[in-house]
Amino acid sequence: MKLTEFKFDLPENLLAQHPAKNRDESRLMVLHRDSGKIEHRVFKDIIEYFGDGDVFVVNDTKVFPARLYGNKEKTGAQIEVFLLRELNKEIHLWDVLVDPARKIRVGNKLYFGESDMVAEVIDNTTSRGRTIKFLFDGSDEEFYKALHDLGETPIPKEFIPRETEAADKERYQTIYAKHTGAVAAPSAGLHFTREVMKRLEIKGVDVVPVTLHVGLGTFRPVDVEDLTKHKMDSENFIVPADSATVVNRALDAKKRVCAVGTTSMRAMESSVSAHSRLKPTEGWTDRFIFPPYDFKIANALLTNFHTPESTLMMMAAAFAGYELLIEAYQTAIKEKYKFFSYGDAMLIL
């Protein structure tokens, strides 16, 4: 397929700038692949579509405060430093993005607030990418605490162009977030409340975790018309043995297995056995899913409404079927559903 087939006009006012007042009161569009039927519900109604023995697979990655602001030595110019991944824990070496990048060269030092945190630029990786080494004398625990205190919740400013607010710290995080490592939230999971989880449990629905640490590659623009030429950034993921056992039991019993978000789906599709079952894995994945694609594990997908020409929209189209997804998006715009991380949800059955 071609990139332009995923282009559509998204009114700016439909890009959600804040989450719904209550997590489980976002809107929920339910898309039935077999009939093409589209339903308009509220998120908490999701429990009506699942029963005893069905499984939700959630991504329990935890977003860390990845956006820092430092000052360049000598000039004092403010520089945004966006932490992407830790390359070497022992010497505090990190892969980062800097803005404005033209001011930051190898050898420059950055100073952070009133703290003792200093970083030196070691390498240029891309136009905005740098490798930096934090010069810090304390323990690992003190280092990560300092990063946490200095950092800001990394809401995606490209689509949510406002100042970070105190509420973002809680709301840009799923209630089941456990393993720190993501620079962006697995947004389909942001709709779950403890009440919804409890009601699913009462109905006999299992909720099991996988971990995929979401990197900025998930949101990296596709800049090639031929989708087969696009390369995804690698992201670290784990499929625990206990989760694989529960999912495979559900598949054997012909039950529903719902991937909560495109990141959970990518983790599962990156860990398929020769018999089309989920296998325990720990590693890296750069799997790019777009139509046509034969999904091996999940038979339901919960996702948000995504921006035009995004890899997330492409995966949703691969699962729903391209024509049905385009129809659903046109309906969503007409019905004024909210898009992106803080937006509404879509359940594809």
Question: Do residue 324 and residue 205 come from a single domain?
Answer: yes
- 178 lies in the same domain as 299: yes
How many domains does the chain contain in total? 2
* Cβ–Cβ under 8 Å, residues 98 and 70: no
**Are 199 and 214 in a shared domain?**
yes
56 and 74 in a single domain? The answer is no
Give me 327's structure tokens: 């129809």
pLDDT of amino acid 220: 78
Clarify whether residues 179 and 140 are in a common domain.
no
* Euclidean distance between the first and the last CA atom of the chain, given in angstroms as a whole number: 23
Return the pLDDT at 217.
Answer: 75
CA-CA distance, 99 to 115, in Å (whole number)? 21
CATH number, position 120: 2.40.10.240
Q: Is 11 helix (H, G, I), strand (E, B) or coil?
A: coil
CATH number at residue 36: 3.40.1780.10
H helix and E strand count, the chain = 7, 17
Ranges under pLDDT 50 in the chain: none
The confidence score (pLDDT) of residue 103 equals 85
Q: Are residues 238 and 92 in the same domain?
A: no
Tokens of 258: 């719902």
Q: Is 177 helix (H, G, I), strand (E, B) or coil?
A: coil
For 292-338, what is each residue's pLDDT tens digit? 999 999 999 999 999 999 999 999 999 999 999 999 999 999 999 99
User: Is residue 79 domain-shared with residue 18, that is, in the same domain?
Assistant: no
Query: Considering the domain boundaries, does residue 156 fall inside one?
Result: no
Residue 158 placed within a domain: no
Confidence at residue 114, expressed as pLDDT on a 0 to 100 scale? 77
Q: Is residue 297 part of a domain?
A: yes
Q: What is the pLDDT at residue 312?
A: 96
Residue numbers of the domain that contains 302: 3-63+169-348
User: Has residue 163 been placed in a domain?
Assistant: no
Q: With contact defined as beta carbons under 8 Å apart, do 316 and 306 qualify?
A: yes
Same domain, 136 and 230: no
Statement to judge: residues 101 and 30 lie in one domain: no
pTM of the model: 0.93
Residue at 160 is within a domain: no
**What pLDDT shows up at residue 68?**
94
Residue 159 in any domain: the answer is no
Asked if the structure places residue 329 within a domain, the reply is: yes
Do 174 and 283 reside in the same domain of the chain?
Answer: yes
